[in-house]
């Protein structure tokens, strides 16, 4: 694949993946097209040597692996599907001062200022009761620009450029409409109807988050940079996905993209959960074979690194300041937050 195709594919993947659910769905689609067979965690697995498989958990984490005759020396790559965002509260609707706005909670460690004055949309997963009395789940992507978080004018906040702080509870509520008849359940049912689901009787719960609708693009005199939301860590999801799709089925490789890295990875679909171990154990008949595989293999935890900021160079150690577009960064940490060692 040439650089142009690689970059174009990345831009498309970023735009099509506004939430971990959509990233997982897009990777699953890519794996299907590349001949990977879908596994379900609740079924019995009968793996065939020479085949390639993928499995998802919580619709937001995914593992793909080859299953060659020789199952040692796996190259494993891990990435994460989630990015910081503004997540909708369970009861989000606030009607006041002539508008309808949504209450949101910051997900992960995010910089709040860039969320102001952006054209925002909403996506994620909803659970609803269908006409047969069954609880169903569906992904949603509103796609349309439905909200904005307006900055306060400089005249009303003369110190804004000196000491602006953001109150997470009151200052970052996206504003949706002046239609005070707005009903949240009707809004969700209308979104479901737009994707062909017409029998949603009641909306039970949702995991929806706002995202910036500005598309991923090249920036710079020579298209030097790619600017986008969610590069951390959809970039590594994209490279890991392309890697495993391009290897022969006789090459031992595994790729995992986990949710909830931005909030500590401790969930069942997070990297500290059981998803990877459960999957690896099921690839082997005995515990011995499983441990042999793990100890002979290598795992690369792939994520974004901060390049030196040209306007804030003092924030970096001079001898350890990565320059943008100069290649891969290997991170080390004395507290072993990264697993890198000299070998």
Residues in the site for Zn ion, rule: CB under 5 A? 232-233, 303
Beta strands 75-80 and 253-258, pairing class: parallel
Place of tokens 């160079």: 313
Taking the least distance from each CB to Zn ion, the nearer of 306 and 320 is: 306
Nearer to Zn ion, 279 or 301 (CB): 301
Closest distance between Zn ion and the C-beta of residue 136, in Å?
Answer: 32
Cα–Cα distance, 125 to 140 (Å, whole number)? 6
Nearer to Zn ion, 176 or 229 (CB): 229
- Please count the other Cβ atoms lying within 10 Å of the Cβ belonging to residue 65: 25
Q: How far is the CB of 70 from Zn ion (least distance, A)?
A: 32
Q: What is the Cα–Cα distance from 29 to 241, expressed in whole angstroms?
A: 11
Give residue 242's region: left, alpha or beta (phi > 0; psi -120 to 50): alpha
Q: What is the 3-state secondary structure (H, E, C) of the chain?
A: CCHHHHHHHHHHHHHHCCCHHHHHHHHHHHHHHCCCEEECCCCCCCCCCCCEEEEEECCCEEEEEECCCCCCCCEEEEEECCCCEEEEEEEEEEEECCEEEEEEEEECCCCCHHHCCCCEEEEEEEEEECCCCCEEEEEEECCCCCEECCCCCHHHCCCHHHHCCCCCCCCCCCEEECCCCCCHHHHHHHHHHHCCCCCCCEEEEEEEEEEECCCCEEECCCCCEEECCCHHHHHHHHHHHHHHHHCCCCCCEEEEEECCHHHCCCCCCCCCCCHHHHHHHHCCCCHHHHHHHHHHCEEEECCCCCCCCCCCHHHCCHHHCCCCCCCCCCCCCCCCCCCCCCC
Residue among 160 and 332 whose Cβ is closer to Zn ion: 332
Nearer CB in complex with Zn ion: 59/232:
232
Task: Output the smallest distance, CB 218 to Zn ion, in A.
Answer: 22
Residue 25 vs 301, nearer CB to Zn ion: 301
Q: How far is the CB of 233 from Zn ion (least distance, A)?
A: 4
Q: Which is nearer to Zn ion, 174 or 273 (CB)?
A: 273
Q: Which is nearer to Zn ion, 13 or 67 (CB)?
A: 13
- C-alpha 334/C-alpha 68 separation (Å) is 36
CB 271 within 8 A of CB 78: yes
Shortest separation between residue 304's beta carbon and Zn ion, angstroms: 6
Least distance to Zn ion from the beta carbon of 326, Å?
19
Tokens of 78: 């891990």
CB of 249 to Zn ion, least distance (A): 29
With respect to Zn ion, which residue has the nearer C-beta, 23 or 149? 23
């Amino acid at each position: 694949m040439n650089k142009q195709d690689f970059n174009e594919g990345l831009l498309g993947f970023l735009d099509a993946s506004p939430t971990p659910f959509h990233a997982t769905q897009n990777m699953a689609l890519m794996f299907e097209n590349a001949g990977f067979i879908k596994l379900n965690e609740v079924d019995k697995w009968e793996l065939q040597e020479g085949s390639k498989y993928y499995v998802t958990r919580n619709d937001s984490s995914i593992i793909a692996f080859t299953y060659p005759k020789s199952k040692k020396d796996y190259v494993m790559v891990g990435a994460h599907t989630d990015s910081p965002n503004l997540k909708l509260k369970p009861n989000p609707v606030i009607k006041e001062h002539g508008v309808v706005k949504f209450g949101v909670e910051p997900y992960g460690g995010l910089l709040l200022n860039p969320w102001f004055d952006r054209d925002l949309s909403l996506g994620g997963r909803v659970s609803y009761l269908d006409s047969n009395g069954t609880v169903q789940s569906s992904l949603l992507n509103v796609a349309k620009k439905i909200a904005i978080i307006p900055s306060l004018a400089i005249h009303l906040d003369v110190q804004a450029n000196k000491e602006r702080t953001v109150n997470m509870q009151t200052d970052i509520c996206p504003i949706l409409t002046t239609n005070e008849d707005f009903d949240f359940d009707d809004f969700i049912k209308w979104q479901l109807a737009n994707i062909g689901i017409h029998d949603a009787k009641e909306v039970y719960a949702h995991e929806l988050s706002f995202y910036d609708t500005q598309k991923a693009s090249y920036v710079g005199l020579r298209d030097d940079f790619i600017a986008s939301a969610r590069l951390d860590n959809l970039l590594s999801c994209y490279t890991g996905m392309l890697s495993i799709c391009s290897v022969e089925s006789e090459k031992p490789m595994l790729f995992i993209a986990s949710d909830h890295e931005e909030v500590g990875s401790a969930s069942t679909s997070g990297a500290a959960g059981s998803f990877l171990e459960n999957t690896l154990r099921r690839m082997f008949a005995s515990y011995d074979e499983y441990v042999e595989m793990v100890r002979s293999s290598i795992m690369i935890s792939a994520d974004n690194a901060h390049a030196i900021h040209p306007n804030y160079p003092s924030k970096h150690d001079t001898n350890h300041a990565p320059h943008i577009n100069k290649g891969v960064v290997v991170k080390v940490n004395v507290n072993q937050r990264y697993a890198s060692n000299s070998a």
